[in-house]
Every structure is written in C-alpha cells, then in structure tokens.
Amino acid sequence: MFTYWQRRDDPLSRCIEEVVSSAGGGEDRCLLAAAEYLCRKRAGEATSMDKIAAKYGVSLLCVYRKYSGLFQVGIRYPRNRVEQLLEQVRQRYGPAVAEEVESLYAVLKSRGALDGLKPEGVVAALLYYAAKKHGLRYDSHRAAEEFGVHPETVEKNIVLFQWYLQR
C-alpha cells in the first residue's frame, strides 16, 4: 500500500510556504524553522524559538540568524491584530479607505475610546465611517460579517465613536 504526502492546507503551512518562497530558500531547515516561528507569531501563538529549532534539528543560533535575516529584508509579522485588520482593509477597499480607518483609529486611541474593545469590532465600525466618507455603500451588518463580530457590536461601537469624534 502506497501513501502519498498530501499538501497541508492549514493557515500555518500556507504561511510557512509563502515566507520560504519569498525568501528564496528551498530545503534550508534553519529557514523553515525561522519561517515557522514567524508564522506562529503572526497567528498569535507563543511557541518559543528554541522548541521550533529542536523540532527541525537545528541550532537556536542558526534559526535566530535566519529570522533576523527575514526581518532585515522586510518579511516580518504585524505587531498586533489591528495592523493585520488594516492590511485586510487596504487590500479590499484600497489605500484611501485604509488611511481613513487608520487616522480615525489614532484619534480614538488618543482619546481613550478603545480601551477594552476587540480590534475586529473597532475596525468594523471605523470601516463603516470611512466607507460613508468615501461614498461607498456599506452598512453595519456587512461590516459585522466581514470581521466576524455581531452587528450589535458594530452598531454599539458606531454610537460610542460618534460621541468621541464629536468632542
């Protein structure tokens, strides 16, 4: 009986393949370990670099050098979830709408309006504002569906942000 290796289709494997292909490496185990570390950080996992190095059978120093090399050429993980969501907005709606969302986010953050709110609900509500400003047809239910939150959360955030933005 023959078994064939099937390509894994989970987000971690796709991310590792993407990082390795953009770095131009083939079967370099140090690069694979560094790519896995980077992708796990993107996913929000707290797996240490030394455990990943041991999994691939390479030294920690080797993985660290490859990871810093990836960082030097611009392959890095977003610092937080908001940056990931802003990149998603930029890809779907263009840079003008993303810049508007980012500027509204900065204003609200400086006024303390975002404490304790989930990033998905915040970005969904801010996208609602930015879309209206740029003349796009967009409603709170669509925003909720896109970011995986309840429509009530988006509507609550819209009302809350109106108060902070009118100050």
Cα–Cα distance for residue pair 9/14, rounded to 1 Å: 7
Model confidence at 2, in pLDDT bands (50, 70, 90)?
Answer: very low
**What fold characterizes domain 11-72?**
Cyclin A; domain 1 (1.10.472)
Q: Quote the CATH superfamily of domain 81-165.
A: Cyclin-like (1.10.472.10)
Q: How crowded is residue 92: how many other Cβ atoms within 10 Å of its Cβ?
A: 11
What residue spans of the chain are helical by DSSP H? 11-23, 29-42, 49-56, 60-72, 81-93, 95-110, 119-133, 140-147, 151-165
Residue type, 94: G
Least confident of 12-21, 50-59, 106-115, 146-155: 12-21
> Is residue 38 a contact partner of residue 77, using CB atoms and an 8 Å limit?
yes
Tens of pLDDT, residue by residue over 74-104, are: 777 665 778 888 888 888 888 999 999 999 9
| Nearest partner of 77 among 39, 104, 127, 117, judged by Cα | 39
pLDDT above 50 for 149: yes
> Which pLDDT score, from 0 to 100, does residue 33 have?
92
Looking up tokens 């890809």, which residue turns up? 91
Residue type, 41: K
> Which pLDDT score, from 0 to 100, does residue 5 have?
43
- State the average pLDDT over residues 113-140: 88
Q: Indicate where the chain has its CATH 1.10.472.10 domain(s).
A: 11-72, 81-165
- State the average pLDDT over residues 15-40: 86
pLDDT above 50 for 162: yes
pTM of the model: 0.58
